[in-house]
């Protein structure tokens, strides 16, 4: 289903219904001025548009649990979309995820238009289906971004949450003779209290007429602003400092392993992998900054030949997936078992629109994208920060 097509048909239908609206909230076909012909012909036109909307919605039906409209705390209309899930143990590709997001967003907006007319987006709020999904998901075969690696996602009912963090793991199991005292292994965990953080940003004031002139503008802005929220969250998952309004990142978490630069970048990366193997850790993915990934690809020998070959440094990275992300600072790489951290979701990304006050005087609208998230590193020893700077 193409979102602009559905939105255009829905807008046309909503405009006709609005034109026919009576003072008591009903509809009078005879009041429709934009369609020539008899009342029967006008009614046939409305029925055809309604059938077309149903057809387009059926083609794009991917989410089954979208909520209905209600009033938010400030009186603005809000449309809730249920947490998005998938088949347990099956991870959709990033392309499938994007298509599903577009389909779900289209359905949310269609519901809004059905209930409140063509200006539903610009007079209230829409909970945009977010790429942050709660539930159990398998590790993607080809992860596209760092957030894809975090498969443990938990919804929380309030602002505060608590989780367990393993701080000590000492295995002392051994062969024991009869009547001898068995050795004691040490597995220490600490209870960590925390709270979710708000990630948000605003758009500039946008002339309201643009939404009528360009049917795909709403979807474009929702996608861009939702992505911006997730990019900020992802950056803090890596580097968020303690004591601020952000989540505390991996680089600031006590107990995370480190590997110092040694001889060259490939040597350093390989030694980090060795350190994880010696610690009996099973890392699930590498994350490198684009600059460092480029440096590896362009590394040459003394004779000017590129070091990398068709194997793509398989002797360095092994069979562990590698992603490139600007969330990791240049000169630093991460190697981790990403199953040992958790993304906390209190509120998925919400797109709010305001057309009041000074904005009403200029016939403009501003959007706000906002979400509430937390992050927990359950086992710091499963993460390793690698220094790639000589």
Q: What is the pLDDT of residue 98?
A: 42
More confident residue, 212 or 73: 212
DSSP codes joined into one string, 109-167: HHHHHHHH-TTTGGGSEE----S---EE-PPPSS--SHHHH--EEEE-SSSEEEEEEEE
pLDDT 10s digits, 152-211: 999 999 999 999 999 999 999 999 999 999 999 999 999 999 999 999 999 999 999 999
Q: Which residue has the higher pLDDT, 244 or 282?
A: 282
Average pLDDT, integer, range 307-331:
87
Quote the pLDDT of residue 127: 47
pLDDT at 24: 66
- State yes or no: pLDDT of 307 exceeds 50: yes
Q: What are the angstrom distances between the C-alpha of 155 and each of 84, 190, 207, 321?
A: 11, 21, 36, 27
Cβ(249)–Cβ(378) below 8 Å: no
Question: Per-residue pLDDT averaged across 228-254, rounded?
Answer: 95
Q: Which bin fits 304, alpha (ψ -120 to 50), beta or left (φ > 0)? A: left
Mean pLDDT within 340-366: 93
Where in the chain are all domains bearing CATH 3.30.2400.10? Answer: 62-158+194-390
Is CATH 3.40.50.300 the classification given to domain 62-158+194-390? no
**Interval 51-103: pLDDT, tens:** 777 766 665 543 333 333 332 333 333 333 333 233 233 333 334 444 444 44
Instruction: Write down the pLDDT at residue 91.
Output: 33
Task: Label residues 168-190 b or e (16+ Cβ within 10 Å = b).
Answer: eeeeeeeeeeeeeeeeeeeeeee
Note the pLDDT of residue 213: 92
DSSP 74: T
Residue 102, helix vs strand vs coil: helix
Average pLDDT, the chain: 79
Section 211-217 average pLDDT: 90
4-41 per-position pLDDT tens digit: 566 676 777 777 777 777 776 666 777 777 777 777 77
Rounded to an integer, the average pLDDT of 298-318 is: 80
Higher pLDDT: 213 or 75? It is: 213
C-alpha 6/C-alpha 102 separation (Å) is: 11
Task: Decide if pLDDT at 113 tops 50.
Answer: no
% of the chain exceeding 70 in pLDDT: 72
Burial classification of residue 114, based on how many CB atoms lie within 10 Å of its CB (0-12 exposed, 13-18 middle, 19 or more buried): middle
Q: Report strand pairing: 77-81 vs 125-126.
A: parallel
Task: Please give the pLDDT value at position 134.
Answer: 54
């Amino acid at each position: 289903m193409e979102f602009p097509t559905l939105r255009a048909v829905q807008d046309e239908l909503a405009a006709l219904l609005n034109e026919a609206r009576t003072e008591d909230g009903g509809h009078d076909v005879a009041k429709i001025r934009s369609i020539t012909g008899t009342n029967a012909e006008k009614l046939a036109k409305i029925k055809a548009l309604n059938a077309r909307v149903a057809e387009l919605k059926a083609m794009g039906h991917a989410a089954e649990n979208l909520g209905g409209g209600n009033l938010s705390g400030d009186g603005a209309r809000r449309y809730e979309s249920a947490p998005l899930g998938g088949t347990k143990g099956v991870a959709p590709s990033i392309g499938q995820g994007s298509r599903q997001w577009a389909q779900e967003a289209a359905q949310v907006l269609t519901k809004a238009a059905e209930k409140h007319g063509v200006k539903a987006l610009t007079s209230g709020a829409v909970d945009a289906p977010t790429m942050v999904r709660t539930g159990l998901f398998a590790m993607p075969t080809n992860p596209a971004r760092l957030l894809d690696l975090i498969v443990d996602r938990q919804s929380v009912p309030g602002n505060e949450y608590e989780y367990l963090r393993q701080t000590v793991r000492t295995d002392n199991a051994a062969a024991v003779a009869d009547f001898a005292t068995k050795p004691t292994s040490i597995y220490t965990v600490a209870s960590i209290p925390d709270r979710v953080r708000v990630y948000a940003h605003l758009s500039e004031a946008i002339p309201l007429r643009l939404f009528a002139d360009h049917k795909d503008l709403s979807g474009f802005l929702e996608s861009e602003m939702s992505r911006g929220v997730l990019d900020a969250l992802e950056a803090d998952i890596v580097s968020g400092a303690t004591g601020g309004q952000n989540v505390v990142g991996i680089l600031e978490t006590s107990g995370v392993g480190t590997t110092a630069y040694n001889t060259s970048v490939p040597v350093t990366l390989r030694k980090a992998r060795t350190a994880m193997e010696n610690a009996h850790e099973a890392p699930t993915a590498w994350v490198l900054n684009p600059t460092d990934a480029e440096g590896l690809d362009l590394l040459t020998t003394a004779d000017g030949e590129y070091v990398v070959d068709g194997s793509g440094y398989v002797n360095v990275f092994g069979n562990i997936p590698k992603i490139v992300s600007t969330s990791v600072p240049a000169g630093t790489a991460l190697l981790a078992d990403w199953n040992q951290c958790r993304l906390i979701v209190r509120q998925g990304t919400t797109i709010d629109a305001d057309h009041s006050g000074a904005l009403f005087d200029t016939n403009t609208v501003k959007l706000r994208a906002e979400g509430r998230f937390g992050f927990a590193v359950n086992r710091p020893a499963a993460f390793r920060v690698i220094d790639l700077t000589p």
